[in-house]
Amino acid sequence: MKARFNFMTRPGYKKVIQDYQNGVKSIISKNKMSVKDEVIDEEVKEIINNTHSSMQQFVKSERKRINKDMATLRSSYKRSKSVYSNPQEEILRRQDFDLELYTMSDNDIERFLSDKERTPSEYELRKIASRNNLSSEIQVRVTKKLNILKRPYEQDGHYQELSKALQEIELIDKPLSRDLMMYFPKGDNQVSNVSLRSLNLIQNKPHELGKEAERVNEALNFLSEVETGEIPVKERTQLSSVVEKENKLKYDDFDLRAIRGTKEFDIRDRFTYLKERYNDKSSDRFDIMKDDYNIEEHLNYLEQQHDKRMANDSAFKEQYEAASNKETEE
């Protein structure tokens, strides 16, 4: 069974409902034993306060989890965004496009944007957007394409589900206990609800309490049937191993592919080699999602950090130069 709201699939939510059910059963039991009204009053207050407090804790935990998952997705798109395989080739491509754009009419730009065989880069779209006297139609199309490129994760189905789940949490995030409604699945995409304050109204009415207990029990049965969407343990383990691999350096300190002057040297390897060692983690100035990201400046910064290490770490410099010289001699 599919739940109408994402929070219904969470074990923590079911636990809150189970505790509430136990409270209702306790009140039913005390009514049968003719316990004093004052005692029942106090217990009802405690049940309401505890249920509300537990729900608030659940909301806080869920919001934190969802925001973390959304941040992880955003980061994954940053990592997967074209970190140009060959920075020098990218520079040449940009220069070629600048010349091409100089001779393009509005109709040419329209055809360029409509060409299914060619996907405009963020740089190309920004260059088009900076052009004077663009038609409003082109401006709208360019802006739309830029927004998708800047926030590609917003097109991701999983990200959209997380965003929806974050909004749904607001339904049960109530500062006051009297405003809290608990929602239960009732068939696919159907819901029923219980107002927490209703317990005050029926606390001395055995028949109504019995109906409340039945409703909550039915809700718990439905909650047991909803699809949880939890990642299986095996898959979580596999994902953990991927994260561990991501944290390991791809290149050794003296990998010949990253050392200039060797046969194996490749500027793409050089860029990645430097980036995984010397990237600026104290700021976002080299965040490739930023509008003003400049790959030349990024590479120059990395080279400068490498030069500093060569100047300050004599042992590293000696081994680095030895690796380079050995390759040259061979």
Task: Quickly list DSSP for 73-98.
Answer: HHHHHHHHS---S-HHHHHHHHHHHH
Question: What's the angle, vertex CA 153, arms to CA 148 and CA 158, rounded to 5?
Answer: 135
Instruction: Give pLDDT, residue 247.
Output: 55
Residue 189 has, within 13 A of its CA and on its CB side, a CA count of 0
Tell me if residue 57 falls in helix, strand or coil: helix
Nearest alpha-carbon partner for 323 in 265, 279, 236: 265
Helix (H) or strand (E) holding 140: helix 136-150
Amino acid code (one letter) for 137 = E
Which residues have a Cβ under 8 Å from the Cβ of 44 and sit 6 or more positions away? 27, 199, 200, 203
Please give the average pLDDT of every successive group of 10 residues along the chain, which has 330 residues.
79 91 90 87 93 96 92 74 65 86 90 86 88 87 85 84 93 93 78 85 86 85 66 48 57 89 88 88 69 78 90 89 72
CA–CA separation, 164 and 174 (whole Å): 18
The whole-model pTM stands at: 0.57
Query: Which residues are paired to 193 by β-bridges?
Result: 183
Instruction: Give pLDDT, residue 239.
Output: 45
* Structure tokens belonging to residue 82: 């074209």
CA–CA separation, 196 and 182 (whole Å): 7
- φ, ψ for residue 200 (rounded to 5)? -60, -35
CA–CA separation, 117 and 111 (whole Å): 11
Q: What is the distance between the terminal CA atoms of the chain, rounded to a whole angstrom?
A: 67
Q: What percentage of the chain exceeds 90 in pLDDT?
A: 22
Q: What is the pLDDT of residues 71-121, one digit of tens each?
A: 888 887 765 555 555 677 778 888 888 888 888 998 999 999 988 888 888
CA distances from 304 to 258, 278, 279, 300 (A): 15, 9, 11, 6
CA–CA separation, 266 and 259 (whole Å): 8
Q: Which residue has the tokens 């050089």?
A: 270
Residue 231 has, within 13 A of its CA and on its CB side, a CA count of 7
Which residues have a Cβ under 8 Å from the Cβ of 210 and sit 6 or more positions away? 28
Report, in angstroms and rounded to the nearest whole number, the Rg of the chain calculated over CA atoms: 30
Calculate the CA 182 to chain-centre distance.
Answer: 27
Instruction: Give pLDDT, residue 243.
Output: 44
Domain segments of the chain: what residues? 6-81+157-225, 87-155, 249-329
* Structure tokens belonging to residue 174: 């109530």
Instruction: Give pLDDT, residue 91.
Output: 82
Instruction: Give pLDDT, residue 168.
Output: 94
Mean pLDDT of the chain: 83
Which residues have a Cβ under 8 Å from the Cβ of 170 and sit 6 or more positions away? none
CA–CA separation, 220 and 197 (whole Å): 19
Instruction: Give pLDDT, residue 231.
Output: 46
* Structure tokens belonging to residue 261: 């002057």
* Structure tokens belonging to residue 296: 């030349």
Instruction: Give pLDDT, residue 165.
Output: 92
Calculate the CA 100 to chain-centre distance.
Answer: 38
Instruction: Give pLDDT, residue 191.
Output: 82
Instruction: Give pLDDT, residue 192.
Output: 82
